[in-house]
């Protein structure tokens, strides 16, 4: 017979673990007056069946509710370390994705800014600084521009004076055969308007829209002076001065409207 070294329970031969307490067994009965503990009557049948089953399987028996036999692997608890590991992995994946999106966004913004700066630098400086000629428009400040604007006003006054002198002459004479001085003055103001138009066409450093408007005004002044000159020359040669004067009058009306718009936008 074998005896449990812990509780002194009597065990059959071949038993390695005590069915009562789960400890190892010994051949000799332990000294010290330890009493043999018999299992409850209600559990004898079940234990006998378990003993027979274990004996048939050739493995050691152990009591249900007692500690696990030596060498028996412990089962991993549910949750615990595996759950924490999964949470850490998920956080790591989210951080990697966030970093990737941040890098992609930064690269995209850099490329967009670079393309925009290159496109802006490709535009000529004249187009970048060109103001819109609307409402009050852009004021010009170059010396040549200011000089041409004054020239436009002076030519306008000179043409008006010649037209008044021509009307006064016709009150005393039927034609311009005896008005060489008046005809020469008309030719002089015509040449002056042509030169001013050429200067306005080659003007640089000012608003292109303003330059075009000023050149157009000089072109109209050329038609005004040319109408006066043509009418007086035709009359001095025995023809009718009214055709030339009519052209000059039409050009004068056009000049008045265009000049008012010019002053509103560019002065």
Among residues 223, 203, 224, the alpha carbon closest in space to that of 212 is found at 203
- Parse the chain into domains and list their residue ranges: 143-266
Query: What burial class does residue 212 get, using C-beta atoms within 10 Å of its C-beta: 0-12 exposed, 13-18 middle, 19+ buried?
Result: middle
**Cβ 150 vs Cβ 215: under 8 Å:** no
pLDDT, position 228: 96
Among residues 226, 230, 220, 228, the alpha carbon closest in space to that of 252 is found at 220
Determine the distance from the C-alpha atom of residue 223 to the mean position of all C-alpha atoms in its chain, rounded to a whole number: 52
**Cβ 149 vs Cβ 259: under 8 Å:** no
What strands lie across the sheet with 2-4, from one edge to the other? 10-11, 2-4, 25-26
The C-alpha atoms of residue 217 and residue 254 are separated, in whole angstroms, by 9
pLDDT, position 237: 96
**Cβ 227 vs Cβ 244: under 8 Å:** yes
Query: What burial class does residue 45 get, using C-beta atoms within 10 Å of its C-beta: 0-12 exposed, 13-18 middle, 19+ buried?
Result: exposed
Those residues with Cβ within 8 angstroms of residue 60's Cβ, 6 or more apart along the chain or in another chain: 15, 16, 17, 54, 69
| pTM as predicted | 0.49
**pLDDT by 10s per residue, the chain, length 267:** 677 878 888 878 777 778 788 766 565 555 544 444 444 444 344 444 434 444 344 444 444 444 455 554 444 444 456 667 777 787 777 887 877 777 767 767 767 776 666 655 554 444 444 444 444 444 555 899 999 999 999 999 999 999 999 999 999 999 999 999 999 999 999 999 999 999 999 988 778 999 999 999 999 999 999 999 999 999 999 999 999 999 999 999 999 999 999 999 998
The C-alpha atoms of residue 98 and residue 75 are separated, in whole angstroms, by 38
């Amino acid at each position: 017979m074998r005896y449990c070294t812990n509780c002194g329970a009597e065990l059959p031969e071949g038993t390695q673990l005590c069915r009562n307490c789960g400890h190892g067994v010994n051949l000799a009965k332990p000294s010290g007056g330890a009493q043999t503990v018999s299992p409850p009557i209600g559990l004898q049948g079940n234990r006998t069946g378990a003993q027979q089953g274990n004996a048939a399987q050739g493995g050691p028996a152990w009591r249900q509710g007692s500690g696990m036999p030596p060498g028996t692997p412990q089962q991993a608890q549910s949750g615990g370390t595996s759950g924490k590991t999964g949470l850490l992995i998920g956080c790591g994946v989210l951080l990697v994705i966030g970093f990737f999106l941040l890098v992609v966004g930064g690269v995209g913004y850099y490329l967009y800014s670079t393309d925009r700066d290159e496109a802006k630098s490709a535009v000529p400086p004249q187009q970048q600084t060109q103001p819109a000629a609307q409402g009050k428009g852009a004021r010009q400040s170059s010396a040549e521009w200011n000089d041409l604007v004054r020239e436009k006003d002076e030519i306008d006054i000179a043409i008006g004076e010649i037209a008044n002198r021509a009307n006064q002459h016709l009150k005393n004479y039927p034609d311009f055969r005896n008005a060489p001085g008046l005809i020469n003055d008309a030719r002089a103001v015509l040449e002056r308007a042509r030169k001013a138009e050429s200067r306005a066409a080659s003007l640089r450093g000012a608003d292109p829209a303003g330059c075009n408007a000023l050149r157009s005004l000089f072109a109209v002044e050329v038609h005004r002076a040319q109408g006066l000159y043509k009418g007086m020359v035709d009359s001095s040669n025995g023809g009718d001065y009214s055709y030339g004067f009519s052209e000059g009058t039409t050009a004068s009306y056009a000049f008045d409207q265009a000049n008012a718009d010019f002053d509103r936008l560019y002065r």
